[in-house]
């Protein structure tokens, strides 16, 4: 079967299209549910990353780590997230990508996790602490359930590792903009443009860039590099945090923010 994520990114008229990231259960699962519906109605968005809150998030900066801690304190866990996803399955046509560390998946049981993910309509999976060399068991389950395993390429990835990642990744290649954890940055690594060209020479799977994407100028830079998608996480979670005591305002503020990303620097909204 064709990748739903791949198709949505390629068909999206915005270049790059947007892939927003939210932490499940922050500030509540009800708000997460509303945001998934809201994002699904936004034509700038080609997929949605749904973060599984974890107590030791190695790749997450302080904004996302704080949100994850609050979500866990609220009682959010994998089972409640899958139930929430099932509830919105019919209303959300945009592909859902789960972002999880290895530990919560193994704790639930890989077999159970993939069964519930398939039942919940999940289209993709990102596991930032899963090395490509240890991905075989996950790949087997992904192939059985038609869930794309999306792997990360970092500026420090050598040619051999990039070849392995390109070989197994479906949906898109997640290109990390710079070394370190997630968070808002001023600009991108000078190596980024060269890495994009290198990946493109090896595959026609879309290339999406994340870590530090937060401003219209970033979107414009990525557009000029011919990137297919822009993953925006910390800036969105920060905005949710700032408005968590007035949850009805969160979708309004996020729509304004998303419009602002595409309305400057010569990019049409």
Catalytic residues: 49, 60
Burial state string for 136-157 with b = 16 or more CB within 10 A and e = fewer than 16: eebbebbeeeebbbbbbbbbeb
Burial code (b: 16+ CB inside 10 Å, e: under 16) for 96-116 equals: bbbbbbbebbeebeeeebbbb
Q: How many residues does the chain have?
A: 269
CA distances from 75 to 29, 70, 98, 119 (A): 10, 9, 18, 22
Q: Rounded to an integer, what is the distance from CA 92 to the centroid of its chain?
A: 16
- Residues 261 and 220: their CA atoms lie apart, in Å, by 9
Burial code (b: 16+ CB inside 10 Å, e: under 16) for 185-206 equals: beebbeebeebbeebbeeeebb
Whole-angstrom Cα distance, residue 151 to residue 174? Answer: 6
Per the listing, tokens 């309509």 go with 121
The DSSP 8-state label assigned to residue 154 in this structure reads -
CA pair distance 59, 255, nearest whole angstrom: 26
Report yes or no: 110 and 141 within 8 Å, Cβ to Cβ.
yes
């Amino acid at each position: 079967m064709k990748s739903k994520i791949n198709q949505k990114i390629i068909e999206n008229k915005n270049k790059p299209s947007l892939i927003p990231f939210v932490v499940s259960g922050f500030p509540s699962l009800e708000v997460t549910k509303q945001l998934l519906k809201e994002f699904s109605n936004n034509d700038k968005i080609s997929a949605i990353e749904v973060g599984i809150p974890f107590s030791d998030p190695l790749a997450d900066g302080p904004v996302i780590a704080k949100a994850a801690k609050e979500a866990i304190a609220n009682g959010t866990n994998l089972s409640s997230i899958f139930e929430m996803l099932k509830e919105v399955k019919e209303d959300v046509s945009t592909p859902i990508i789960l972002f999880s560390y290895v530990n919560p998946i193994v704790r639930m049981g890989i077999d159970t996790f993939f069964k519930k993910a398939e039942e919940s309509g999940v289209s993709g999976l990102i596991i930032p602490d899963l090395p490509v060399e240890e991905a075989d068991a996950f790949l087997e389950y992904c192939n059985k359930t038609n869930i794309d395993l999306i792997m990360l390429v970092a500026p420090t990835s050598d040619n051999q590792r990039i070849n392995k990642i390109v070989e197994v990744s479906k949906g898109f290649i997640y290109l990390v903009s710079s070394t370190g954890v997630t968070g808002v940055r001023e600009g991108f690594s000078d190596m980024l443009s060269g890495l994009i060209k290198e990946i493109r020479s090896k595959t026609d799977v879309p290339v999406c860039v994340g870590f530090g994407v937060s401003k219209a100028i970033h979107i414009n830079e990525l557009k000029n590099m011919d990137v297919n998608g822009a993953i925006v996480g910390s800036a969105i979670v920060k905005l949710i945090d700032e408005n968590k005591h007035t949850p009805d305002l969160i979708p309004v503020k996020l729509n304004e923010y998303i419009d602002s990303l595409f309305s400057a620097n010569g990019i049409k909204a």
